[in-house]
Amino acid sequence: MSLLNPDEYPLVSIVVPVFNEEAVVPEFHQALTEAISDLPFALELLYVNDGSTDDTLSRIKALRQQDSRITLLDLSRNFGKEIAITAGLHKATGDAVIVIDADMQDPPELIPELVREWQNGYDVVYAQRTHRKGESIVKRTTAHFFYRFIKRVNKIEMPEDSGDYRILSRRAVDALNTFNEQHRMMKGLFAWIGYKQKAVRYQRDPRHAGTSKWNYLKLWNLAVDGITSFTIAPLKISTYLGLLTASCAFAYGIYMIIDTLLHGNPVAGYPSLIVIILMLGGVQLVAIGILGEYLGRVFNETKRRPLYFINEYAPGEEASARLMSRDFSAHSPK
């Protein structure tokens, strides 16, 4: 059964976050338009330029001259992919919203299948990878364990081996747009909202052109954001580790007292003393570091800064029509 409103023509928005993708944007747009050519909906192609420093913006503007469906959202600087996706969801006007990267690792040809499942009543239909071509064994291995670790420590069911590529119903988008947190991992938020969700499996291709903007440091920071945003498990682990260490230290202290009473107090034991001091100091520093990660995020949230600023927003033809109809409806007499 379709979720579409029969009183209003259906509009599907496609959000594409881009950062320094001048080498691939034209080819991606061509592949995207071919993939969606048979969809019986009005379409909004929303490109979010996340502060690109190359010719990405000018190429999007050139494409916009040829395709009136393109909406341009140019952010004032690079805020990161998670915020760029958030900005796209805020501005998307469609009855359903598709999120897809421009590097063509996620095939646009999968969009019709995502749309069909949305029409079948699913609020979130996510693309789940069966293979990850073009990625190093280190990246594949760390991604494998990260998804499974998150699934074990979280109270939410975050799908394994799924990225941001998915379709969202209007009510799912509206739910996501209520979040104001600064540190966000969209994959977790997509799962957190709940609703009816389904996976569509596919094989991920290598990057078509250009280079990945995700180095291991950025991936590590994203992983930390994902863990600290959805669970306090690291704090519990540090607590249990502290209790275990204290218990071991107490037991060792009892042993030393008994050993001294029975055999005296020899001078020997300096190496073991140093090892114990270093172990206790290391555990304390790790616990303080974990506490600092959470405290730093609390500090950032209390500042209540805006998530992003917009340098330019130019809605496409379909988006403009939808925005005008909403404005008219809002000001019309009741």
- Is the same domain home to 155 and 282? no
- Answer for the pair 19, 52: CB distance below 8 angstroms, yes or no: yes
User: Do 292 and 318 share a structural domain?
Assistant: no
pLDDT (mean) for 287-298: 75
Question: Which domain covers residue 237, as residue numbers?
Answer: 233-302
Across 26-39, average pLDDT: 87
- pLDDT over 80 at 39, yes or no: yes
Do 41 and 88 share a domain, yes or no?
yes
pLDDT of residue 329: 45
Token code pair at residue 277: 């001091």
Indicate whether 110 belongs to any domain: yes
Give yes or no: residues 110 and 249 share one domain. no
Report the b/e string of 203-240 with b at 16+ CB within 10 A: ebeebbebeeeeeeeeeeebbebbbbbbbeebeeebee
Q: What is the mean pLDDT of residues 47-74?
A: 89
CATH of the domain at 118: 3.90.550.10
Residues recorded for the chain: 334
The pLDDT score that the predictor gives to residue 224 is 66
- Mean pLDDT value of segment 262-278: 64
Residues 85 and 207 in one domain: yes
* Inside any domain, residue 6: no
Q: In this structure, are residues 208 and 136 in contact, taking their beta carbons and an 8 Å threshold?
A: no
Q: Are residues 243 and 133 in the same domain?
A: no
The reply to whether 194 and 237 lie within a common domain is: no
Mean pLDDT confidence for 281-301: 73
Residue, of 211 and 22, whose pLDDT is higher: 22
In a domain, 226, yes or no: no
Confidence of residue 34 (pLDDT cuts 50, 70, 90): confident
Residue 333's pLDDT is 44
**Residue 334 confidence (pLDDT):** 39
269 falls within a domain: yes
User: From residue 14, how far is each of 168, 234, 313 by CA, in Å?
Assistant: 10, 36, 16
Total structural domains within the chain: 2
97 in any annotated domain = yes
Predicted pLDDT at 217: 63
Assess if residue 3 is contained within a domain: no
Cα 28 to chain center, whole Å? 21
Q: Are residues 211 and 261 in the same domain?
A: no
pTM (predicted TM-score): 0.67
263 or 91: which leads in pLDDT:
91
Q: Do 181 and 281 have their domain in common?
A: no
Higher pLDDT: 61 or 323? It is 61
| Model confidence at 6: pLDDT above 50 | no
- In this prediction, residues 224-251 reach a mean pLDDT of 69
Residues 6+ apart with CB under 8 A from 25: 18, 47, 56, 59, 60, 63, 102
Same domain for 149 and 106: yes
Looking at per-residue pLDDT, the higher value among 17 and 183 belongs to: 17
pLDDT of 3 > 50? The answer is: no
CA distances in angstroms from 79 to 86, 92, 154, 315, 329, listed in the order given: 10, 18, 26, 21, 34
Percent of the chain with pLDDT over 70: 68
The answer on pLDDT for 231 being more than 70 is no
At 135, the pLDDT band (50, 70, 90 cuts) reads low
Domain co-membership, 121 together with 206: yes
Mean pLDDT of 51-62: 88
Same domain, 190 and 296: no
